[in-house]
A and B are shown apart, each in its own frame.
Chain A
């Protein structure tokens, strides 16, 4: 099947290690879904791999809902986030941001700011990161970076207090030479529209993905199309018995993490130390080293705790570079945390979309053709493509997608939780629902005929058997009265990406303490806890006894947490290190007890002899017999066992809504979320991610909207008051059914859930539930009362594919 550009650029899986056959062993691994499709398959795996784990019910710590390792610290405020870092002599920095949407910067006068009594340094930004870059940079001869959106950082001021920094930042005088601008997608497509760039421009993705295709044509502001083709779609439509077609429009969403972006940078001659709120300690380290031309070994990045990223927190960032530059200049540590307004403006967003989607099918549901033409704006960036779901969810005879990025004078988009997929699924899954109506098929049955994924088939059965689905009336708009109830579902897809930059070290100390270290950052999904569970399983001691150290590049390298890679990439390295350390441990202590290491096992906090040659001893007492003070083993990720398989995950979200047709308000009452992610390492933590994805998806579907004034190019709602996010009363009952789906790919067989969880499919599920309630399709987000009432009055007309 065709894959999606967004994912191609995300993480390249390393080639399988070139090991000889003699280094392999054949093992039987559990594959499939317990209770449905579970069976054994043989896998050739490296001989050094630990024994195959059975399914979760036969494990003691892994696969159990162990409480968060750091839950107490977070709940009591003891957890130290970046903004909590306080260093002696630390300065506070504030950015100076562009007040206009498009301009050449003629001059930046910092003299007044520099003479402010509290100020210790001013930095003028010479190179802006995040925006698309001209293919031919000589088209612009400028002293300072061209302002492409209001809020683009221009300079930064460091002062002894945050207040002094704010006052001084207001004293920096920026002289602009205005350039015509455009913030509206439709207007930007016009041939006479103001040009965001004077020539073709491309945006790099980050370590978390995003960015758009390169090597595509650009006409005016339209960067594209990027074309994906399978077969002859014209023929496909000729072969169709029915065709559905619709125009779908989605808005720009900002990441709006609880914690804003920010760093504390401490530049010392021998080492730059950066405390960062980041999804990738490695990515921050690399960009800092590259920008300042210093060796990686002289950059240390620390992320003890972080309050959410959703794809926007990779790399050094303009603010991070500014803070480091100010620290270098002033000789003092510098803290720079963004404000909520800056968070909305300058550190990324989910691009908008305007999609025309047409699907042709045979009477039996066989899809003969899918044709998608999409336009979307990632502001002055790219990455608005959204063909992933259409390309990867169903079996089709022909496929044709044309994806276009439209430059506008808005902040650059960046990867956001399942890039392109909520947009794409919103159109695809509503179209499939429409197709089912047209074919007079149950929408679950239609999917059974076109979706070959073995796990989603099980998931559909779970949906079919659920009380929620059984309560659905097949006839749309069947309820009397102004408030109508409806139920709908949609499917999601995400892909298996493995970051080979995943390593861990396990140390066993002579006092019986055990620790595990990795530079990986815990972005809230709970990798700390999972690491403790793995060691607990391997050493037979409770997770509470394991010390977990993460979020520091002084430890072995960890994956950047984007694209749902963290758990599936890192846990095999952790297990391998733990397994090898446990074997070394047994080998060291066995002679002291007069037994062979092979006769020993680690269970329930004890070392026991399988043959009964020795009495059980506690792990701690056994450790005292170690020959050295410390056993340390470092492991790196082993490649996936079976590369012949193209692996995707997904799930199904079912929404129950009530639509008040007199005021156009949609209330989501219940959600049933059925998802798979390989072996769930900690089911409660997985469910938490799914809950979060569902809520973020509801928020996107019904409320959130970044609004730029068309005449002035400024955001009118850069706060969390008029930028509306799901609150407690909008939170439905969410019933998560986690499906264990073993795939036999690594020593833990874990997969990821961050992207597939809810966010991809809940929008279309709500759309389909709304259709079921009122018999009218709402093809635009956010589905506000204004949008719903408009749809009720005049169902959206289709538009020619153009």
Chain B
């Protein structure tokens, strides 16, 4: 780890005024400190926002929910309102990492993790994402890598919360000095590697992620998220599925199906959603949706097995969301 300056801030304005000259925000510090320790992040200054109480908490609004960026994954998982109306988010936050990490990790930090790839996350490999020419994953060890929509970088999206929030049509609130604020829909928040390989989201270095807003769910909405790993405890997803169903009785009016571990940016599957729209939810339709989600896969040399896992993750999670199946004991967390 390199030497760095530390600025402890207790207000948003104070934090924003520090965000210059390569300063990096530290919230829970889970992902950032790991990258600093292995040398892949070498910030000259850390701006510690952990003690800004205004950034913490879940608030119900006329339009839905606002969740402060410093709210921990554990707090989100356990929040009664989220459990009753936004189950998918409770599931996603409650099955990330470990209980210890969920007590420290914040929603903002979780959403801002750079992609998951062991080449990117090693100081030994100077890859495309670090501004160099080459991707090591295509010809290397890629058993956990992306199977679709990866372009020049087959890393996978790290945030399970993002898989849920994409399904909930959430937006990200960003603030910067000069009193300016902007709101970005989550679907536009992440940057595809082909657009800019060294940028992971649209947030600028002088901006602070302050909150996530989620619209009120439509009537009859049911949702769920499940993640599959090699291990149940403390493992990254090798397949995952977020499912939001707007139901009329047993007929699905509208479905949103999201995935994280399939591509470098969290994505919806229009193909899977189309299979379910206007249909009753049955094991047959759920399986058909899972199958449809794999329409455009391009597995790498070592990860064809993931193409088998996602349809299972999707059909089981669709049935879970519809109340037709228990939480899968094979799912992680």
Point out residues on A near B: beta carbons under 8 Å.
Answer: 99, 163, 166-167, 341, 483, 660, 662-665, 667, 702-703, 707, 709-712, 714, 716-717, 719, 721-722, 724, 726-730, 782, 784-786, 789-790
Contacts and interface: CB of A to CB of B under 8 A. Distances in A.
B124 A703 contact: no
B322 to A, nearest CB: 18
B77 to A, nearest CB: 16
B249 interface: no
A374 to B, nearest CB: 25
Nearest to A162: B1
Given A724-B230, A724-B235, A730-B232, A712 B125 contact: yes
Interface stretch (B107-115, B137-145, B165-173, B196-204): B137-145
Interface of B: 1-3, 34, 38, 98, 118-119, 122, 124-125, 136, 139-141, 143-144, 228, 230-236, 238-239, 302-303, 305, 308-309, 312-313, 329-330, 332-333
A321 B331 CA distance: 47
A717 B118 contact: yes
A790 B305 contact: yes
B231 A663 contact: no
Contacts of A166: 1
16 contacts: A163-B3, A166-B1, A662-B308, A663-B312, A664-B308, A702-B230, A703-B230, A712-B136, A712-B140, A719-B38, A722-B118, A722-B236, A727-B232, A729-B231, A730-B232, A786-B302
Most A CB atoms within 10 A — which of B1, B144, B233?
B233
A789 B311 CA distance: 14
Contacts of B140: 709-712, 716
A728 to B, nearest CB: 5
A774 to B, nearest CB: 14
B330 A660 contact: yes
Considering the complex of A and B, which 10 residue pairs feature the smallest CB-CB distances, nearest first?
Answer: A727-B233, A729-B232, A729-B233, A786-B305, A716-B118, A660-B330, A662-B312, A789-B305, A709-B140, A727-B234
A730 B141 contact: no
Contacts of A789: 305, 308
Most B CB atoms within 10 A — which of A709, A727, A730?
A709
Contact of A99 (B34, B124, B230): B124
A709 B141 contact: yes
B119 A728 contact: no
Contact of B239 (A167, A663, A721, A729): A663
B244 to A, nearest CB: 22
B139 A711 contact: yes
A174 to B, nearest CB: 14
A714 B118 CA distance: 11
A785 B124 contact: no
A665 B118 contact: no
Contacts of B118: 716-717, 722
A702 B235 CA distance: 13
B230 A785 contact: yes
Nearest to A482: B312
B318 to A, nearest CB: 14
A795 to B, nearest CB: 16
A660 B238 CA distance: 15
Given A663-B228, A712-B125, A730-B232, A483 B330 contact: yes
Given A711-B140, A714-B122, A667 B230 contact: no
A730 B333 CA distance: 11
Contacts of A703: 230-231
Contacts of B235: 724
A726 B305 CA distance: 22
Contacts of A667: 232, 329-330
B309 A785 contact: yes
A663 B125 CA distance: 31
A163 B1 contact: yes
Given A663-B330, A709-B136, A789-B308, A728 B233 contact: yes
A680 to B, nearest CB: 31
A729 B140 CA distance: 30
Contacts of A163: 1, 3
A785 B305 contact: yes
A663 B3 contact: no
Contacts of A341: 38
A207 to B, nearest CB: 33
Most B CB atoms within 10 A — which of A664, A716, A719, A784?
A716
Given A711-B136, A785-B309, A716 B122 contact: yes
A241 to B, nearest CB: 39
Contacts of A728: 233
Contacts of A724: 230-231, 235
A567 to B, nearest CB: 32
B143 A786 contact: yes
A710 B301 CA distance: 13
Contacts of B233: 727-730
A459 to B, nearest CB: 31
A193 to B, nearest CB: 19
A724 B234 CA distance: 9
Contacts of B143: 786
Contacts of A730: 231-233
Contacts of B309: 663-664, 785
Given A707-B141, A717-B118, A789-B308, A665 B330 contact: yes
A716 B141 contact: yes
Contacts of B329: 667
Contacts of A717: 118
A711 B3 CA distance: 33
A714 B121 CA distance: 13
Nearest to A166: B1
Contacts of A726: 231
Most B CB atoms within 10 A — which of A99, A663, A667, A784?
A663
Given A702-B230, A716-B119, 15 more contacts: A163-B1, A663-B228, A663-B308, A664-B309, A711-B139, A712-B125, A714-B125, A716-B141, A724-B230, A727-B98, A729-B231, A729-B232, A730-B233, A785-B305, A785-B309
A726 B118 CA distance: 20
A712 B122 CA distance: 13
A235 B25 CA distance: 73
A159 B138 CA distance: 41
A700 to B, nearest CB: 13
A702 B312 CA distance: 21
Contacts of B230: 665, 702-703, 724, 782, 784-785
A662 B311 CA distance: 10
A166 B36 CA distance: 13
Contacts of B313: 663
A703 B332 CA distance: 14
Contacts of B231: 703, 724, 726-727, 729-730
A167 B122 CA distance: 18
Contacts of B98: 727
Contacts of B3: 163, 167
B308 to A, nearest CB: 6
Contacts of A483: 330
A147 to B, nearest CB: 15
Contacts of B141: 707, 709-710, 716
Contacts of B34: 721
Contacts of A784: 230
A484 to B, nearest CB: 12
A205 to B, nearest CB: 31
A525 to B, nearest CB: 26
Contacts of A702: 230
Given A709-B136, A709-B140, A786-B305, A714 B330 contact: no
B94 to A, nearest CB: 14
Nearest to A786: B305
A790 B144 CA distance: 16
A717 B124 CA distance: 12
Nearest to B233: A727
A703 B118 CA distance: 17
Contacts of B144: 722
